């Protein structure tokens, strides 16, 4: 069979500079499925609308060349998914469309009802994609396939409960060759070209329970890890494919200190000559000796979910850490030589302007090289979303809701909070001391791409201030 796999425009639709479109990271979920299909003798193409502008003509042209379509569904991209599926079905009502991804794992039947897709996968798609293909070819009964909802003439039918893959080492490595023509990762290095940046996941799920996060529900409260040997084998393949920079894109990395030490020992011993970044790490798992080893292995960037400079807010989110731990870890990261990124959230139900200002001052006091200040969002699958629905503040069909006092969520209107976040970003970046410190980091690491990225951020904020 011939398959077209589509990653929809995320939020925002795409990142654009004056010359190219580029995505944050390749769609590994789709690429895992693609490799399974290719190993079974099928032909696969991938359209990543996070890395190229949406083009209806291109979409329909590709659809005409295949037997079936697959698509990832995020809660933030649901409306775009509906539109894309609508276009495909209008052009070819009979082509089967399979959807999967985080939103499908949370609401398989509802997602099928809200779209015109034919099959919705809950959980690990790699476990059942061959079964689905056989059912499409009338060689298997859909009703016997675990973890799917499917459309029939009499309505939507739910199959047996999903079965997650226990042995992640058994899954073939993603088919990265299918997206080699896309540019990813320029937030880490603005000079990266197509085929030079990719990502890897060493685990699935997250063992932590932050109240604003839905990852636990999406992974069905299961946390699974790959072996060090399996990860190293994939990194060797990545190196052989010509990649230069790899992001560890786990929901949280690292979580197991023993395995992390073994992994970076192995990376050093293999002399892979790759650069690495960590996209989501916890401050309470920091270790000075491990960080030194990570630096030696090629790690250049590390990002922390810091959330707040107020202990009462951290406790409310169930972060299980302290303001002092945040301060200590960020300093260790900076001293190790990592480009250190911190993300903060404004808008807990009881947060006042005093809380916000304290967090901003706290952020400025830390040796951070980049920050993001974002409004709290209530996302389906999180404890905060469940509570807001139970309290009648949002409906079950509102899957992603920003803090807004007009909904009884927080103390400020959505627009006020968004403006504060924008002002906080400008206040943080447009400081002479910040530029001087970033210049020191750049010179220490012999890498002026940090400065180039900074100047791009500054100019975007200056433009925003006068727009």
Same domain, 395 and 309: yes
- Residue 368: burial class (beta carbons within 10 Å; 0-12, 13-18, 19+): buried
Spatial distance between the Cα atoms of 347 and 373, rounded to a whole number of angstroms: 11
In-domain check, residue 80: yes
Same domain, 262 and 298: yes
In-domain check, residue 166: no
Residue ranges making up the domain that contains 451: 432-466
Going by C-alpha positions, the residue among 214, 197, 218, 215 that lies closest to residue 253 is 215
For residue 467, give every residue at least 6 positions away whose Cβ sits within 8 Å of its Cβ, in sequence order, or none. none
Same domain, 410 and 460: no
In-domain check, residue 403: yes
- Tokens 């003439």 correspond to what residue? 153
Provide the 8-state DSSP code for 49: T
Quick one: CA dihedral 158, 136, 130, 6, positive or negative? negative
Q: Which of 124, 158, 192 is the last residue of a domain?
A: 158
Number of domains in the chain: 3
In-domain check, residue 178: no
Spatial distance between the Cα atoms of 125 and 466, rounded to a whole number of angstroms: 46
For residue 148, give every residue at least 6 positions away whose Cβ sits within 8 Å of its Cβ, in sequence order, or none. 108, 119, 120, 121, 122, 128, 132, 142, 158, 159
3-class secondary-structure state, position 330: helix
- Per-residue pLDDT of the chain (467 residues), as tens digits, is 999 999 998 764 333 333 344 578 999 999 999 999 999 999 999 999 999 999 999 999 999 999 999 999 999 999 999 999 999 999 999 999 999 999 999 999 999 999 999 999 999 999 999 999 999 999 899 999 999 999 999 999 999 999 899 999 999 999 999 999 999 998 888 889 999 999 999 999 999 999 999 999 999 999 999 999 999 999 999 999 999 999 999 999 999 999 999 999 999 999 999 999 999 999 999 999 999 999 999 999 999 999 999 999 999 999 999 999 999 999 999 999 999 999 999 999 999 999 999 999 999 999 999 999 999 999 999 999 999 999 999 999 999 999 999 999 999 999 999 999 999 999 999 998 888 877 877 777 677 766 666 666 665 555 554 44
In-domain check, residue 262: yes
How many CA atoms are closer than 13 Å to the CA of 172, on its beta-carbon side?
17
How many Cβ atoms from other residues are within 10 Å of residue 406's Cβ? Answer: 10
Q: The domain that contains 77 carries what CATH number?
A: 3.40.50.280
Quick one: CA dihedral 249, 250, 252, 253, positive or negative? negative
Q: The domain that contains 225 carries what CATH number?
A: 3.20.20.70
User: Cα separations (Å) of 271 from 70, 126, 274, 403, 445?
Assistant: 37, 31, 8, 47, 19
The residue ranges of DSSP E strands in 105-152, in sequence order, are 119-121, 148-152
Spatial distance between the Cα atoms of 156 and 277, rounded to a whole number of angstroms: 42
């Amino acid at each position: 069979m011939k398959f077209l796999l589509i990653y929809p425009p995320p939020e925002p639709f795409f990142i654009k500079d004056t010359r190219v479109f580029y995505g944050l990271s390749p769609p590994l979920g789709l690429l895992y499925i693609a490799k399974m299909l290719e190993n079974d003798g099928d032909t696969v193409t991938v359209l990543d609308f996070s890395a190229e502008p949406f083009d209806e003509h291109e979409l329909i042209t590709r659809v005409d060349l295949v037997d079936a379509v697959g698509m990832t569904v995020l809660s933030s991209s649901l409306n775009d998914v509906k539109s894309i599926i609508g276009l495909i079905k209008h052009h070819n009502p009979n082509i089967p469309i399979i959807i999967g991804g985080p939103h499908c794992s949370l609401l398989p039947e509802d997602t099928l009802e809200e779209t015109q897709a034919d099959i919705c996968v809950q959980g690990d798609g790699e476990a059942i994609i061959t079964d689905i293909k056989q059912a499409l070819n009338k060689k298997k009964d859909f009703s016997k396939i675990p973890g799917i909802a499917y459309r029939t003439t009499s309505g939507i039918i739910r199959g047996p409960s999903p079965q997650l893959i226990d042995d992640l080492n058994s899954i073939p490595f993603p088919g990265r060759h299918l997206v080699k023509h896309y540019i990813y990762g320029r937030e880490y290095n603005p000079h990266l070209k197509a085929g030079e940046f990719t990502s890897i996941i060493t685990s699935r799920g997250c063992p932590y329970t932050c109240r604003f996060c839905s990852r636990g529900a999406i992974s069905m409260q299961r946390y699974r890890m790959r072996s060090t040997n399996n990860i190293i084998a994939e990194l060797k393949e990545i190196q052989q494919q010509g990649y230069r920079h790899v992001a560890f894109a786990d929901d949280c990395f690292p979580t197991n200190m023993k395995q992390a030490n073994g992994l970076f020992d192995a990376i050093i011993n293999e002399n892979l000559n790759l650069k690495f970044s960590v996209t989501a790490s916890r401050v309470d798992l920091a270790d000075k000796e491990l960080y030194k080893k990570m630096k030696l292995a090629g790690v250049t960037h590390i990002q922390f979910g810091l959330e707040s400079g107020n202990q009462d807010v951290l406790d409310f989110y169930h972060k299980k850490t302290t303001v002092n731990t945040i301060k200590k870890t960020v300093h260790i990261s900076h001293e190790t030589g990592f480009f250190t990124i911190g993300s903060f959230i404004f808008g807990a139900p009881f947060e006042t302007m005093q809380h916000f200002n304290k967090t901003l001052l706290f952020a400025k006091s830390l040796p951070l090289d980049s920050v993001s200040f974002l409004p709290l969002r209530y996302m389906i699958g999180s404890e905060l979303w469940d509570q807001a629905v139970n309290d009648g503040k949002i409906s079950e069909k509102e899957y992603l809701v920003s803090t807004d006092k007009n909904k009884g969520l927080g103390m400020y209107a959505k627009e006020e909070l968004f403006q504060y976040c924008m002002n906080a970003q400008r206040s943080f970046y447009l400081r002479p001391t910040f530029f001087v410190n970033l210049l020191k980091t750049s010179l220490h690491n012999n890498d002026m791409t940090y400065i180039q990225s900074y100047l791009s951020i500054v100019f975007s904020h200056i433009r925003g201030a006068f727009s």
